A and B are shown apart, each in its own frame.
Chain A
Amino acid sequence: MTTQDSALRIAGLGKRFPVRTAAGTMETVDVLKGVDFDVRRNEFISIIGASGSGKTTLLRIVAGLTQADEGGIEIAGKRITGPGRERSLVFQSINLFPWRNVMKNVELGLEIGGEPEPVRRAAAEKFVKLVGLEKYAHAFPHELSGGMQQRVGIARALATDPDILLMDEPFGSLDAQTAEFLWDELLKIVEQTRKTVLFVTHHIDEAIYLSDRIVVLGGKPATIIDVIDVDFPKPRYSYDVRAEPRFAEFRARLRRELFRGGTPMAAEEEA
């Protein structure tokens, strides 16, 4: 693969954290080790793995919020050391600003980027509408349900028009109907705006439905235990992907990998 069609390179990534032991002393634990893959331009990649396997950690390193202990991230052949305009992160913990209404939250990135007021407002209106919250444009976060807050977080990340969208379980607290509606919306946005997506989830069907490739993290420390090419034709929202017989095969394969050891908890795999 040439650097032309590579949007992002994750090169031999390793990350350690100090953790407190039962004895009260500190001990260094490897969370990620030798994580290595390329993300192509306009590719949709899901990272799936058990809880605690290091998915958020990996995404935070790509976002430039945490430094890797080994290896690193390259964008257009350059090693990144911090956040950048070409990437936006949708946080697992959402992180809306409680004193800003929905519009102002969505405008945050543009405001920081120094965009003038009319540009910000137009973008915020567009993306607030896209996530179906135009009726709540002037509501404050505490007046929204968890799922609505998550949609604001997504709108905020999209508003800066990044090339690479980093999403940490963005649909985790939505009901199934809203989530599935947003799967299609996300696929449409990604297609129209030609985005590259790195999408963290532990939802197997979601990963298969959305992704071009699925990277499976497992083990302690976590490494890539499988990469699945999901080669269903696009656009996927135009037919029922889940009725495809191979959908069930992918699902079975992922279940096997994620439930290896009888538990979806990475922490217990050591035992």
Chain B
Amino acid sequence: MTLREFALNKWVLRATSILVVLAAWQFVGSRINPIFLSTPTAIAIAFGKTIASGELVSAVAASLGVTAAGFLLALVIGVPIGLLMGRFRVIEYVLDPYVSALYVVPRIALIPLIIIWAGLGIKAQIVVVFGTTVFPILLSTFAGVRHVDARLIETAYSFGASEKQLFFKVIIPGAVPFIMSGLRLGIGQAIIGMIVAQMFLGIAGMGFMLTNYGNQFATDYVFVVVLALAALGILLTEMVKFVERRFNHWKPDERTRG
């Protein structure tokens, strides 16, 4: 490897970039009020303390539970409804007024109603996560069904396929790439929903930690949660991408990307 190749290696570039930013942060942060920026070293110490006390781990566990429950609920409800709306015009016309209306309302605006209906506990948090997650999943599934190659439907029909066979042998597998991107969008939305829900409704979890330390102006602890959230987001998105690759193994490689 020449020096030039080394300097242009993507990992070298990434590491350098991170080191430079961390150094600048440390430099600026230690010269101003710690409430504004804190410093990487202070954040590392805060991280150590939240780990040692078990606070961070239990918050992450609580958040993961809510995210997973809301996401799975959105999956098992959003995908079938999206499939049915995509395949059957009657179902589309019956349901699309509600889907469109709910989709444009910011889900946060519904939190007072959710509190009235589901209280202030875990159940309400799961409902909020479900609410933010179900739409990208449902709408992507719907779009996926509409994009299934009509010629493949006709091919199966020419072999005498029943409606049920068309559904399971053509529509669903044909819509899988779209469903998978819906899940990828959905997982990001689920994390947003989880944080919002726990900030408003939580007495535990990462969202609660955020409001709690924010109120105390403990900037270093707030950053610990933010970074943990980023890690969680990356982890969950990579998991969905892994599943996505498993399902899309038949597709041509994305070799054309620069």
Smallest CB–CB gap between A157 and chain B, Å? 9
Q: What are the residues of chain B within 8 A of A113 when measuring CB–CB?
A: 159-160
- Chain B neighbourhood of A64, CB < 8 A: 158
Complexed CA–CA distance, A78 and B170 (Å) = 30
A108, B250: Cα distance in complex, Å? 17
Interface residue B156 (Cβ < 8 Å from any Cβ of A): yes
Within 8 A of A (CB), among B167-201: 169-170, 173-174, 176
- A153 (CB) vs chain B CBs: closest residue: B155
The reply on B157 being an interface residue by CB < 8 A is: yes
Q: A63-B158, A108-B159, A142-B251 are in contact. Are A99 and B176 (CB under 8 A)?
A: yes
A193 interface hit (Cβ, 8 Å): no
Most buried by A among B152, B158, B251, B252: B158
A238 contacts the other chain (Cβ, under 8 Å)?
no
| Complex alpha-carbon distance, A99 and B251, angstroms | 7
**Are A111 and B169 CB-contacts (below 8 A) given A95-B152, A98-B251, A142-B251?**
yes
B161 — nearest CB in chain A belongs to which residue? Answer: A112
CB contact between A91 and one of B151, B170, B252 (< 8 Å): that residue: B151
Check: A252 CB closer than 8 A to any chain B CB: no
When C-beta atoms are compared, the residue in chain A nearest to B176 turns out to be A99
* Contact assessment for A112 and B252 in the assembled complex, using a CB-CB cutoff below 8 Å: no
Q: A97-B152, A99-B173, A99-B176 are in contact. Are A89 and B250 (CB under 8 A)?
A: no
Q: Return the chain B residue nearest A109 by Cβ.
A: B159
Please give, as numbers and ranges, the residues of chain B lying within 8 Å of A85 by CB-CB distance. 160
* Inter-chain residue pair count (beta carbon < 8 A): 53
Contact with A along B131-165 (1 / 0, CB 8 A): 00000000000000000010110111111110001
A65 engages B152 (CB within 8 Å)? no
B250 touches A98 (CB 8 A): yes
A63, B173: Cα distance in complex, Å: 25
Task: Give, as a whole number of angstroms, the nearest-CB distance from A140 to chain B.
Answer: 5
B161 contacts across to A, CB distance below 8 A: 112
Chain A's closest residue to B248 (CB) is: A99
Contacts of B157 in A (CB 8 A): 65, 83
Task: Note all chain B residues with C-beta closer than 8 A to A93.
Answer: 151
Check A112/B160 contact, CB under 8 A, given A91-B151, A95-B152.
yes
* Chain B residues with CB under 8 A of A91: 151, 155
Per-residue contact bits, chain A 78-100, to B (CB 8 Å; 1 contact, 0 not): 00000111001101010101111
List residues of B (69-109) whose CB comes within 8 Å of A's CBs: none
User: What's the Cα separation between A100 and B249 when bound, in Å?
Assistant: 10
In the assembled complex, the Cα of A88 lies from the Cα of B155 at a distance in Å of 10
**Residues on the A chain within 8 Å of B174, using CB:** 99
Give chain A residues whose Cβ lies under 8 Å from the Cβ of B251: 98, 142
Q: How far is the CA of A118 from the CA of B159 in the complex (A)?
A: 19
CB distance from A146 to the nearest CB of B (A): 15
As a 0/1 sequence over residues 98 to 125 of chain B, the CB contacts with chain A under 8 angstroms (1 = contact) are 0000000000000000000000000000
Alpha-carbon distance between A84 and B157 when the two chains are bound, in angstroms: 10
> Min CB distance, B161 to chain A, in Å?
5
Nearest-neighbour CB distance to chain B for A85, whole angstroms, equals 6
Docked-complex contact B154 and A112, CB < 8 angstroms: no
B 223-258 to A, binary, CB cutoff 8 A, 1 in contact else 0: 000000000000000000000000000111000000
A160 at the binding interface (Cβ < 8 Å): yes
B contact set with A: CB distance below 8 Å: 149, 151-152, 154-161, 165, 169-170, 173-174, 176, 250-252
Using CB atoms and an 8 Å cutoff, list the residues of chain A in contact with chain B: 63-65, 83-85, 88-89, 91, 93, 95, 97-101, 108-109, 111-113, 140, 142, 160
In the A-B complex, the 4 residue pairs with the smallest Cβ-Cβ separation, listed nearest first, are: A109-B159, A95-B155, A99-B250, A112-B159
Given contact pairs A64-B158, A108-B155, A108-B169, a sample of 14 additional A-B residue pairs in the complex whose CB atoms are under 8 Å apart: A65-B157, A83-B157, A95-B151, A95-B152, A97-B152, A98-B251, A99-B173, A108-B159, A109-B159, A112-B161, A112-B165, A113-B159, A140-B250, A142-B250
29 intermolecular pairs with C-beta atoms under 8 Å apart: A65-B154, A65-B157, A65-B158, A83-B157, A83-B158, A84-B160, A88-B158, A88-B159, A89-B158, A91-B151, A95-B149, A95-B151, A95-B154, A97-B152, A97-B155, A97-B170, A98-B250, A98-B251, A99-B173, A99-B250, A108-B155, A108-B156, A108-B159, A109-B159, A112-B156, A112-B165, A112-B169, A142-B251, A160-B159
